């Protein structure tokens, strides 16, 4: 934690404050650990001091802090409180909305206008189609452009993600730590008005992880709805397939519980939902025959050199920094002891996502295509909190503050 704080502070003091008209590539050299540079040296020192003060306060008054944390956890157990937190979250997402657009986002306006019946691709079938139909309605009603409709969906999806995260946190012994690590990752930027096709995918993936936790903890829970949910996520964006191997872990567990039919139905639900979606889109202007040539899952006809990272340290170094921004909790992996069903499930879910991070090259570059990898953060964070055994409250508090301020600086940077 001290090393991370020192690294954040050093980069925050060393990197010059952004100048109007200067590109981000000229401002930062370490993407992921120099977000403090945007808010300036004064805030960098303030954030580092705040993290240290928070850790010292927890160390100095442990009983009082424990009582407050327990009261907050009880309050979050109430449905009314959770709804209020979600509404406040949506308001914050909207007020601090991302005002940047990458190349893909900037091209959506023209693509939607050219396809009045709805726009979709094989990689982002359902998410693109729903966004395009919503834009058509809101444009006709209020004259909104594509970016405005995307920001609305992104912020509302953030509210749903807050509710799901609160449900997830209640299944752990330290719910506030879970929430802190989830909220402190830069992956939450997808809910700050991101004009791209990853927000609905992120919500469905988070819902899948929440449902998996319930199935792991409750022997009477059904598995087949998770198959439907995973299939829906794949329809939203094919990258959700990285979570597919984790479903096999749950199927094996269902069979061991003597519920073989439930496991079979869960496995069958994924191709069934995907097949139904492909059939529907095939009848509405997106031919199934073009799936292998037009989708990135086949490297658009087998052009793998374009989509796979070349072997070399440079690209992987950038990916590691990007992962540190999306999920700072990965630094806690050496402090974990992995055992039990939860660790096995989240380990497999994280392995698929990490494989994508290591192997798959972002077409727009790490700086502009970070949201492609956002799906890797939640399973990684939940793997960490499942594996942590002896948690030092002062150090963990300081860590959460560090990660949260780094994500906040990124939010403010993109908002400005």
Q: What would the pLDDT profile of 201-246 be if each residue is shown by its tens digit?
A: 999 999 999 999 999 999 889 999 999 999 999 999 989 999 999 9
- Would the pLDDT of 367 be above 60? yes
Q: What would the pLDDT profile of 48-91 be if each residue is shown by its tens digit?
A: 999 999 999 999 998 998 898 888 888 888 899 999 999 999 99
- Would the pLDDT of 402 be above 50? yes
Total domain count, the chain: 1
In a domain, 52, yes or no: yes
- Would the pLDDT of 23 be above 60? no
- Would the pLDDT of 101 be above 90? no
- Would the pLDDT of 267 be above 60? yes
In a domain, 387, yes or no: yes
Distance between CA atoms of residues 309 and 32, nearest Å: 19
In a domain, 154, yes or no: yes
- The SS3 of residue 360 is strand
121 phi/psi in degrees, rounded to 5: -130, 170
In a domain, 301, yes or no: no
In a domain, 343, yes or no: yes
Task: Name the residue range of residue 314's domain.
Answer: 2-287+306-415
Return the minimum-mean-pLDDT range out of 11-25, 138-152, 264-278, 353-367.
Answer: 11-25
In a domain, 299, yes or no: no
Helices (H), 193-312: 199-217, 224-236, 244-256, 260-282, 291-294, 299-302, 304-307
Task: Using a pLDDT cut of 70, give the percent of the chain over it.
Answer: 91
What is the model's pLDDT at position 26?
Answer: 46
Q: What would the pLDDT profile of 155-204 be if each residue is shown by its tens digit?
A: 999 999 999 999 999 999 889 999 999 999 999 999 999 998 899 999 99
Q: What would the pLDDT profile of 291-301 be if each residue is shown by its tens digit?
A: 776 666 666 66
Is the pTM for the entire model greater than 0.85? Answer: yes
Could you give the angle at which helices 125-142 and 146-169 cross, rounded to 10 degrees? Answer: 120
In a domain, 292, yes or no: no
Q: What would the pLDDT profile of 309-332 be if each residue is shown by its tens digit?
A: 766 656 777 788 888 889 999 989
Q: DSSP letter for 35, please.
A: T
- Would the pLDDT of 27 be above 60? no
Write the CB contacts of 398 (distance below 8 Å, at least 6 apart in sequence). 1, 5, 51, 52, 54, 55
């Amino acid at each position: 934690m001290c090393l991370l704080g020192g690294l954040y502070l050093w980069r925050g003091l060393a990197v010059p404050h952004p100048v109007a008209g200067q590109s981000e590539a000229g401002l930062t050299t370490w993407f992921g650990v120099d977000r403090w540079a945007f808010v300036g040296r004064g805030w960098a020192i303030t954030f580092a001091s705040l993290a240290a003060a928070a850790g010292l306060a927890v160390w100095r008054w442990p009983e009082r802090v424990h009582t407050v944390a327990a009261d907050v956890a009880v309050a979050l157990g109430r449905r009314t409180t959770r709804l209020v937190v979600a509404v406040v979250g949506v308001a914050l997402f909207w007020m601090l909305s991302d005002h940047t657009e990458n190349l893909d986002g900037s091209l959506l306006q023209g693509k939607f206008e050219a396809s009045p019946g709805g726009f979709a691709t094989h990689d982002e079938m359902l998410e693109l189609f729903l966004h395009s139909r919503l834009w058509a309605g809101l444009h006709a009603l209020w004259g909104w452009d594509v970016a405005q409709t995307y920001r609305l969906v992104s912020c509302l999806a953030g509210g749903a993600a807050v509710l799901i995260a609160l449900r997830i946190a209640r299944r752990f012994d330290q719910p506030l730590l879970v929430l802190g690590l989830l909220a402190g990752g830069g992956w939450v930027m997808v809910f700050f008005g991101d004009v791209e096709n990853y927000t609905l995918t992120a919500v469905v993936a988070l819902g899948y992880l929440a449902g998996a936790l319930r199935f792991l903890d409750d022997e009477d829970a059904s598995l087949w709805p998770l198959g439907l949910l995973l299939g829906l996520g794949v329809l939203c964006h094919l990258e959700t397939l990285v979570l597919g191997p984790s479903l096999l872990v749950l199927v094996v567990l269902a069979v061991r519980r003597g519920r073989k039919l439930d496991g079979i139905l869960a496995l069958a639900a994924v191709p069934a939902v995907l097949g139904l979606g492909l059939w529907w889109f095939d009848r509405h202007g997106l031919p199934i025959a073009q799936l292998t040539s037009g989708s990135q899952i086949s490297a658009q006809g087998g052009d793998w050199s374009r989509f796979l990272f070349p072997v070399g340290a440079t690209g992987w170094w950038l990916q590691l920094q990007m992962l540190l921004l999306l999920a700072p909790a990965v630094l806690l992996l050496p402090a974990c002891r992995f055992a039990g069903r939860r660790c096995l499930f989240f380990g497999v879910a994280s392995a698929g996502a990490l494989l994508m991070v290591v192997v798959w090259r972002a077409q727009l570059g790490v700086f502009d295509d970070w949201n492609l990898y956002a799906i890797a953060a939640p399973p990684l964070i939940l793997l960490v909190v499942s594996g942590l055994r002896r948690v030092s409250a002062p150090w963990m508090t300081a860590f959460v503050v560090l990660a949260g301020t780094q994500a906040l600086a990124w939010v403010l940077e993109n908002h400005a």
